[in-house]
Amino acid sequence: MNQVQKLLIIGFVWPEPNSSAAGGRMMQLISLFKAQGFSITFASPAQNSDFMVDLGEYEVDKKSIELNNSSFDIFVKELNPALVLFDRFMMEEQFGWRVAENCPDALRLLDTEDLHCLRLARQKAFKGNRSFSTTDLFVEEVAKREIASILRCDLSLMISEFEMELLESTFKIDKALLYYLPFLLEPIISSEIEELPSFENRKDFVFIGNFLHEPNWNAVQYLKETIWPLIKKRLPEAVLNVYGAYPSQKVLQLHNKKESFIIMGRAIDAQEVVQEARVVLAPLRFGAGIKGKLLEAMQCGTPNVTTSIGSESMHGDLPWNGFITDDVADFVNATVQLFQDKAIWHKAQKNGFKIINQRYSKGLFESSFRTKIEFLRSNLPQHRLNNFMGSMLQHHTLKSTKYMSRWIEEKNK
């Protein structure tokens, strides 16, 4: 076993850690597997972007691949990875059957990011002006696809304990197929805390989030139309700076200097703008997973006001670093209080540091994750025998997906 083991990551997009939490998450996983000694190839059918990281700087090989093209079969067979990590279920749908055919002994991992079906079902319930129910998931087409993908994989990496419980209780997924691996962060030490801007040296409010993500766009609309006018009445000098990658024209049109509602667009350095702010506002009304923007706020020592969706599965039994409320009046009151009261602000800031260090410090997860991967690799035949539903889906969907893909490939010729 002296031979360097290979990991193939099949990415939905090329990683952009400065654009989204998903990009940061992917770089954390790359670092985790690097520490385990894997040689990593990152492949994606996505177009290059101006903001993607230079994977070569991280000693990761970059490979462009095509959808519905048998050139992938040749590539993956030659690479012969010991592990394949699918970045979101869509990549497993496209390439999982090809990996299973050409590298049957490779351990197949799925990084869910968040449960797409949960986010979409909540979004539809919200837009239908009704409360979300878990029964909404059963009629969500994406749920059928996503759950099938989870069953076909040997292990799915979950960032949310709430979503793990949902999969086990609602969809009856065997817990042996799920593994809790949240965002993996460096612990915050006292010398770093001392260097952060003080309460007095911070000003303004900030919202930050990738605008390709529908919950973020909805939250900014909510701020503009409902919440910010009420805050502005209480704090006439207040300014809200709205940052986010890929703002559309409809986002840019919300810019209003007179109302101090400032659309800033992409942040060159997200941590810098969050550190300069006194309070982060995140009134998310639907979504899933854990929120990278709120973890970043904690790292920057910036308290926040958010909703139950925003804080879901993020803090366990620990007190929140700010306030959680779904009521507009309470949201406004909490925002004003946090902005003005130094003692409350400091307490909230300390709560954030505790959440990072006790729930997201990467040292809490590195060793157990390595052990889990080694165990699965050593016991893969039995593990797959125990997952009859997965092998059944692999048998049937492999054939249907395979022949659809072959048909598209011939059509493209």
Chain segment 242-286, per-residue pLDDT in tens: 999 999 999 999 999 999 999 999 999 999 999 999 999 999 999
Is the confidence at residue 22, as pLDDT, over 50?
Answer: yes
Q: Which of 38-52, 54-68, 384-398 has the lowest mean pLDDT?
A: 384-398
Q: What is the mean pLDDT of residues 359-383?
A: 96
Is the confidence at residue 20, as pLDDT, over 80?
Answer: yes
Q: What pLDDT shows up at residue 1?
A: 44
Q: What is the mean pLDDT of residues 5-14?
A: 97
Q: Locate the DSSP E strands across 135-278.
A: 155-158, 178-180, 205-208, 240-243, 261-265
For CA atoms 328, 330, 336, 342, the dihedral sign is negative
Tokens of 128: 């239908």
Q: What pLDDT shows up at residue 393?
A: 83
Is the confidence at residue 178, as pLDDT, over 80?
Answer: yes
Q: Which single residue is written with the structure tokens 């076909």?
A: 152
Considering only CA atoms, which of 159, 179, 185 is closest in space to residue 370?
A: 179
Rg (CA), the chain: 22
Residue 399 pLDDT class (50, 70, 90 cuts): low
DSSP 379: T
Q: pLDDT over 70 for what percent of the chain?
A: 98
Task: State pTM to two decimals.
Answer: 0.92
β-strand partners of 193: none
C-alpha distances in Å from residue 45, one per residue of 48, 68, 69, 280: 9, 10, 11, 35
213-248, pLDDT tens digit by residue?
999 999 999 999 999 999 999 999 999 999 999 999
Tell me the backbone φ, ψ of residue 85, rounded to 5 degrees: -110, 120
Tokens of 253: 């049109």
Is the confidence at residue 306, as pLDDT, over 80?
Answer: yes
SS3 content of the chain, % helix, strand, coil (to 5): 50, 15, 35
Task: State how far the Cα of 345 lies from the Cα of 322, in Å rounded to an integer.
Answer: 7
Is the confidence at residue 336, as pLDDT, over 60?
Answer: yes
CB 123 within 8 A of CB 129: no
Residue 397 pLDDT class (50, 70, 90 cuts): low
Tell me the backbone φ, ψ of residue 102, rounded to 5 degrees: -95, -25
Residue 404 pLDDT class (50, 70, 90 cuts): confident
Considering only CA atoms, which of 36, 17, 35 is closest in space to residue 26?
A: 17
Q: Mind listing the domains of the chain with CATH numbers?
A: 5-185+362-412 (3.40.50.2000), 190-360 (3.40.50.2000)
CB atoms within 10 A of CB 231: 23
| Amino acid, single-letter form, for residue 314 | M
CB 27 within 8 A of CB 53: yes
48-100, pLDDT tens digit by residue?
999 999 999 999 999 999 999 999 999 999 999 999 999 999 999 999 999 99
Which residues lie below 8 Å from residue 301, measured CB to CB, with a gap of 6+? Answer: 193, 196, 197, 275, 349, 352, 353
314-327, pLDDT tens digit by residue?
999 999 999 999 99
Angle value at C-alpha 152, between 147 and 158, nearest 5 degrees = 55
| Amino acid, single-letter form, for residue 118 | L
Q: Which single residue is written with the structure tokens 């209780």?
A: 169
Task: State how far the Cα of 292 lies from the Cα of 298, in Å rounded to an integer.
Answer: 10
Is the confidence at residue 396, as pLDDT, over 70?
Answer: no
Q: What pLDDT shows up at residue 116?
A: 94
The torsion region of residue 236 among left (phi > 0), alpha (psi -120 to 50) and beta comes to: alpha
